[in-house]
Amino acid sequence: MYEACFPRKRNCFLSSIVTRGYLKCLKILTRIFLCFIFSIMGDLSWKDFLSQAKQFLEISQKLGDNWILEQKDSNEPNTYLKCSQKIKCRGGKDNSAELVSVEYHVVFSVSYQVPMLFFQAHRSDGSLLDVEATWRMFMPESKASDLHQILTQMDHPVLFRPFMALHPCRTAEVLKQFGKPSCNQVLTFISLYGPHVQLHLQNAYGLSQEYT
């Protein structure tokens, strides 16, 4: 009787070891996954984004800049900052400088809880720059393999149309490096990420001690 039961007990014992090992691995993987999620997610709420966007707009108006606050409706996150400018970029067919009109939108990302920068660029004839032309003009020094992870095309979360966007996966990590001194994350975000797509703020924005 004992010999007949022993294989069953041994199998149960081995099964218990496997189960405990599986659960331990699952806990470790869960912990790693949660750490990853927390590292890419920010702590900016929609209410904070809206408040900081309005503060940023006040600074812009005092400086005579052309930022405006667009509101589709009162729902989250249907209000965003917008500005337009004309810039000269190299990257045309013959690598010559070309004048393009760019419209930038700073939008709240519900998924990542950080600001996101979307934009569209049009040539002088009104045609929209495609993805490849945008890469050539705005990020000529970046490796082709990295471009999809940095500057990509995705649907605008408010307008539901394809826009070019700087990917938000590391935005929270970058903003957290500035800690408490940065009271206005929207201003900090535009200052840091804007130059990557030819969007430069006046130095006077950084001197606005009331909000930064």
Residue 140 belongs to domain spanning = 46-207
pTM summary value: 0.76
80 and 22 within one domain: no
In the chain, the number of structural domains is 2
56, 186 contact by CB (below 8 A): yes
Q: Is residue 58 part of a domain?
A: yes
Q: Which two tokens stand for residue 25?
A: 């691995």
Q: Which two tokens stand for residue 128?
A: 């929209």
81 and 15 within one domain: no
Residues 6+ apart with CB under 8 A from 176: 42
104 and 36 within one domain: no
157 and 191 within one domain: yes
140 and 81 within one domain: yes
36 and 51 within one domain: no
50 and 35 within one domain: no
96 and 25 within one domain: no
99 and 2 within one domain: no
Residues taking part in catalysis: 169
116 and 75 within one domain: yes
Q: Is residue 212 part of a domain?
A: no
Q: Which two tokens stand for residue 105?
A: 């939108």
61 and 28 within one domain: no
75 and 179 within one domain: yes
Distance CA 13, CA 135 (A): 59
Tens digit of each residue's pLDDT, the chain (212 residues): 544 555 565 566 556 665 665 555 444 343 433 333 334 456 899 999 999 999 999 999 999 999 999 999 888 889 999 999 999 887 656 667 889 999 999 999 999 999 999 999 999 999 999 998 898 888 877 665 566 678 999 999 999 999 999 999 889 888 888 755 458 999 999 999 999 999 999 999 988 755 55
